[in-house]
Structure 1
Amino acid sequence: MALNRAVLTIWYVNCDNPAAVLETEPKADRGYGRKYLAQLNPLFPVTPIGQFPLNRSAQADDHEFYIGGYPGVTVVQTVIHADKDSPLRLSELNPKLRQALPSEDVYACAVNEKEGWAGFAHWHHGEIKRVFSGTRYELMEDSGLPLTFENPYWAGDKAEPLGGISLPFEPRDLMEEAQRHWLGVSIDNEGPDLHVVGYAVDGRPEPKVDTAPQVKSVSQLTSDAAFKLGMGPSNADYDDYESPEEEPTTSTSENFQRVLETSTDFAKKATIRAGSFLRNATDRARDYIADRRNR
């Protein structure tokens, strides 16, 4: 199989406990990603395309980079391609990408879901320590000493056997286990949010954000007016508040007039209630004074 495309997630790690960093769900900023891309290729026409959790979004597409820079840990997701007529090999990952940031450890995890291919690689101080890649039916790379977490997979304890020369596990499962082992957290919906900023480098325009004000319904306008007057369901003294029926074809001027009329009606009610309260209070005070004089 001449695999020539995969989604790559690469981790640049310069701390002893990346899990402690990632579990805090650190934020990402645009400036850091721009600096990374400028160093990778100063000629990139960089366009921000959004900010979102890496583990709760669609994967990066061609000419896209999802970047999160955290204390001691940087993650970048993008799409990589092999040279024409050559298979994709993680051990031959573009040195410019692998060395984009000075790092003690670099972990690369890649997947092509359509082909059922996945792989992972680890470099320590620039020296490759472990690399694996392939499909269930074709092993492409397998060098370096297998790590302890790999044992149950090679023993066939993690997947149903398919027989023949097939691998006893799904390569993507092993790749995800390697990522969990190295980072100390799951990079999925059950793990912490890993905030990244997305960039396109193909010259596309920045997505437009709809900033048009929302038009409120008649009932919402009436409710807002009632709240400002101290009336409505939230005020126990005005439990007879009712919203007028909404007419879908009413013009804007008619809607506004109805709100004014309704608000005026509420104000009248408030005045009547207030007057009644004051009269009752006055009567009670007068009776109290008269009673005191007669004693």
Structure 2
Amino acid sequence: MESIVTLWFVNVTDPGTVLEAEPKADRGFGRKYLAQLNPAWPITPIGQFPLNRSAQASPGEFYIAGFPGITVVQTVLTETPSLSELNPRLLDSIPAKDIYAFAVNRDTGYGGIAHWHDGVLKRSLCAERTRTYEDVGLPIPFESPFWAGERAEAAGGISLPFEPVDLVDEAQRSWLGVDISPDGPDIHVVGYAVDGRPEPKVAEAPRHRAQPGPDRTAEQSPAPGDSGDYDDYEDHKAEESSSDSLARLADTTGTAARQLGRGVGHWWQRTRTYVTEKLRHSDRD
């Protein structure tokens, strides 16, 4: 039976606080982890995304992240209906005080939860509604409403009074201290393939440099030595007199005004005459 298994290796007393901060995933960490887990694997990064807002891992894929005191690994396993029988190489791949495992197959209704503390299995429950694969240890308090039939309608016969998949969701919230659903904080991970597929190619947008249009005037073009890429550099030219500055402004504005139409041009002629008279009288002072 194929199931999606998510392992949490925890070395902090309050993992919820760490995860609520939405730490970023280190792309290099996952590559090193997989190289140590199986040096023969061809490792291909396939993307970065929130674990709880993306499609779950597919066969041949690992979603991995290393946070302060916490490591999460999600992959697809076959023939592991009992979490106590997880491959020791995978289970021991990260030294941790507490290890939590969650397994689901939503097509069959299979759900599994397990907790190891200091290397000792404390609790494991792996089941479908009509079949229990493993029931080790005492029920945890968060399981009570499920066993009491408060979380699902009765199915009768030998069926469990709850859906095992629903118990998995509750176990994650209780053990990790944070909502792992899409409503919770982003759990940033990096995805890797180990089946030899090529790395996805992302097309780069072509870079275009702005070209001067056919109507661009000399006043609008960059001066020799100026950078055409930036417009916030100082223009270190000699300071102009107030009369020269006003005259140059009048000429430049006149060019723009003429381009706007004849009506604006008539207005400009009157304004230019006024400005010229002001300049002429100013020069006499």
- What's the TM-score, normalizing by structure 2? 0.76
Distance 1:146 1:37 in 2: 34
Other-structure match for 1:79: 76
8 A contact 2:152–2:162 mirrored in 1: yes
Distance 2:51 2:257 in 1: 53
Aligned residue type for 1:52? F
Q: Find out whether 1:159 has 2:159 as its counterpart.
A: no
Structure 1 residue runs of 5 or longer lacking an equivalent are 216-221, 230-264, 291-295
Other-structure match for 2:183: 190
User: Which of 192, 199, 206 is the aligned partner of 2:199?
Assistant: 206
Mapping of residues 140-289 of structure 1, within 5 Å: 140-213=133-206, 269=259, 276=267, 279-280=270-271, 283=274, 286=277
Give the % identical residues: 56
Other-structure match for 1:112: 105
Distance 2:46 2:259 in 1: 53
Residue aligned with 1:150, SS: helix
Other-structure match for 1:133: 126
User: Which of 6, 9, 13 is the aligned partner of 2:6?
Assistant: 9
Aligned residue type for 2:259? K
How far did 1:278 drift? 7.9
Task: Provide the alpha-carbon RMSD of the alignment.
Answer: 3.0
User: Which of 18, 22, 26 is the aligned partner of 2:23?
Assistant: 26
State the number of aligned residues. Answer: 238
Distance 1:98 1:26 in 2: 24
How far did 1:42 drift? 1.2
Aligned residue type for 1:118? G
- What's the TM-score, normalizing by structure 1? 0.73
Residue aligned with 2:66, SS: strand
8 A contact 2:257–2:268 mirrored in 1: no
How far did 1:128 drift? 0.3
Q: Find out whether 1:41 has 2:34 as its counterpart.
A: no
Sort the Cα spacing of 1:268 and 1:90 in 2 relative to 1 into closer, same or farther, 3 A.
farther
How far did 1:266 drift? 7.7
Structure 2 residue runs of 5 or longer lacking an equivalent are 221-254
Sort the Cα spacing of 1:278 and 1:166 in 2 relative to 1 into closer, same or farther, 3 A.
farther
Give the structure with higher Rg (CA): 2
Aligned residue type for 2:133? M
Other-structure match for 1:68: 65
